[in-house]
Amino acid sequence: MKLTVISIIILTILFTSCTNQFIDSEEKAIELIKQKFPEFRDYPSDEFAGRSIETQTTAEGYYLGFIIYGSGVPIADATCFFVDKKGNIKQDKYQPKELINEEIDLVTCS
């Protein structure tokens, strides 16, 4: 019984130490998103519907916008993330304030 409890504690500590990452750059934040969300691995791109990554750095972490540009509309779609220094991720979907937005606020994803 004691051996099982000790094994569980050791595995928990190892798992926690392996999953916690210190994110200290925009590049590391972007790479973390691409690892966790494979659909964003091909960003940026200059194909027909151009795709870009916009970033905003704060003391707490990094706001990232994975943006798809459209034909007839400046921003067709976007997914925003906040990655804190510990590697925790918050995700949001683009909600335009107006019918045609030419810029995106990465904090509000609008």
Whole-structure pTM value: 0.76
pLDDT digits (tens, 9 = 90+) for 31-78: 999 999 999 999 999 876 799 999 999 999 999 999 998 877 788 899
pLDDT digits (tens, 9 = 90+) for 4-41: 434 444 433 434 334 467 999 999 999 999 999 999 99
Return the HEC string of the chain: CHHHHHHHHHHHHHHHHHHCCCCCCHHHHHHHHHHHCHHHCCCCECCCCCEEEEEEECCCEEEEEEEECCCCCCCCEEEEEEEECCCCEEEEECCCCCCCCCCCCCCCCC
The whole-angstrom separation of Cα 85 and Cα 62 is 8
Whether 104 is in a domain gets the answer yes
Q: Report the number of distinct structural domains present in the chain.
A: 1
Whether 4 is in a domain gets the answer no
Domain residue limits at 79: 22-110
- State both tokens at 33: 């998103």
